Amino acid sequence: MKVVIVGGVAGGATAAARLRRLSESAEIIVLERSGFVSYANCGLPYYLGGVIKSQGALTLQTPESFKNRFAIDVRVRNEVVAVDPEAKTVTVRALEEGREYTETYDKLVLSPGAHPIRPNLPGIDNPRILTLRTVEDTLAIRSYIEQHQPRNAVIVGGGFIGLEVAESLLHAGIPVTLLQLMDQVLPPLDYDVACEVHQYLRSKGLDLRLREEVQGFTEAGASLSVLLKGKEPVAADLVLMAVGVLPETTLAKQIGLTLGVRGAIVVNEHMETSQPDIYAVGDAVEVRHAITGAPSHIALAGPANKQGRIAADHISGRPSKFRGAMGSSVIKLFDMTVANTGLNERQAKEAGIPYDKVINYSASHATYYPGARNMTIKTIFDPETGRILGAQAVGFAGVDKRIDVLATAIRGGLTAGDLEELDLVYSPPYGSAKDPVNMVGYTIENLQAGLVRQYHWHDVETLPNDGSVTLLDVRMGYEYEAGHIPGAVNIPVDDLRGRMGELDQSKPVYVNCHSGLRSYIACRILSQNGFDCYNLSGGFRFYELVATDMAYDEDPTHPCGIKIER
């Protein structure tokens, strides 16, 4: 059997290695148009700022190592320009030699990846406007920085690549302005969770500008001028376009393969395309979302590697199936970790899935052991069954492992009750006897059992201000004086039993504290004394994060203008 693989990065390289492990007799050829195979795509931004110092560290395998260990024929700088499914041949252009040749195949695996979006804007072809996707891109940007010593940089786009490059450039001492069209960075997050990221990035020196529409680029002396809609231009010696990627489907269109979401290649659970004996894997394919079941495009390394393995299995006669992806991801931003898995609110709404949400603020490990840091965890769940649908977390230690546990819970169909019972490791340096994941389960179970009712930051402005409700802040006086929800009265939780007579029992009471814990205790006290009580999810801290973000640029078009009284 002869297998030709087009593309030698994550999915293609995994498929090749798996095929060899399953068959010593197969002839395996990998054709890669760039000069590198099996490289650490996700590590490229860290090479720019010198965090990763060696260029060689970016490549996990070379053509020579593939040949020596796996007896696989890897040809870099060889681009497949045509496929004939009837004849089962590919036409290959050897880029360095300038010649074309033909290879036959029994099975063909397409792993062309995705390409960075380069919007059709005036001036977009200026050589100082770069993108980052391949090792060659990384070397070009690094070379540009070393040769031209840019005084500043503009990054267009606030996704993973844009933020990671921003960190690397700031690490290298280059001031960075990041322009994002949306009202938040990191689209997998909900806006409210992203607010914490915005505040942190600005504290680290990033000039973060949201709701900015780039309209073009012009020369401005020794610099570029980035033109913005309705705003003054921004000067830049270097511009990185990082507004997302699209599936690379040039060959797929030429072959006539069925395409789906965002033009990605439609495959079945064995990674077979609409043409016999042609498979596709990686960032170029459409996948089923593991929760909604909807066709999706999820361009991440984890799914790509799994798909390469599954394609190789099926080619070798093994009945492996790809059962969908949830979009689990994590990013390091300076000392902060941001991670997510499953559905966010926007995705749940779009899919028509009923959901509720809780916000927890938990310590990374036992608070009496030095170094504990709190993390924000937002969890999306089914209000009827308590099944976990998604989670997002922001913090400085232990975030990744909590999201990994929640990703496992989602894949296993676990409920809040199951989270309560998870037997997670505990030692003071690593966790708490009630782990943050357990606390998510307890919080949801309290809601489902009717022990507490909640309201959210976006509900505050809709509460009547005619005196028919009571806003109660149960923090200490000094906390209240530093900032509080307008109209809230202050009775510290430890004084509540003795001062309950100051509250009108005929009015609903909307309670808040710093994180939601003291106000939960207050709600239990009040509800057992005949009050109609609601707890602010995430507490004043979370409310203040959103209010601060909304007030940052005083944008009157923002959908929700919540305020703080000091």
d(CA 176, CA 174): 6
CB 11 within 8 A of CB 111: yes
Nearest to 38 by CA among 9, 79, 17, 5: 9
One-letter identity of residue 96: E
Residue given tokens 């782990």 in the structure block: 435
**Between the CA of residue 40 and those of 135, 161, 284, 326, 413, what are the distances in Å?**
9, 13, 18, 22, 32
Residue 371 host element (H or E): none
In this structure, the chain runs to a length of 566
Nearest to 216 by CA among 194, 195, 233: 233
Which tokens hold the place of 551? 């007030």
The CA dihedral of 76, 82, 85, 88, to the nearest 10 degrees, is -50
- Give Cα 122 to chain centroid, integer Å: 30
Provide φ and ψ at 138, rounded to 5°. Answer: -60, -45
CB 156 within 8 A of CB 162: yes
Residue given tokens 């320009």 in the structure block: 81
3-state secondary structure of 336: strand
Give yes or no: 42 in active site: yes
- Angle, to 10 degrees, between the axis of helix 10-22 and the axis of helix 63-70? 20
3-state secondary structure of 511: strand
HSE (CB half, 13 Å, CA atoms) of 412? Answer: 12
3-state secondary structure of 301: helix
Task: State the burial class of residue 127 (Cβ atoms within 10 Å of its Cβ: 0-12, 13-18, 19+).
Answer: exposed
Catalytic residue chosen out of the listed positions 42, 523, 533, 560: 42
Active site residues: 42
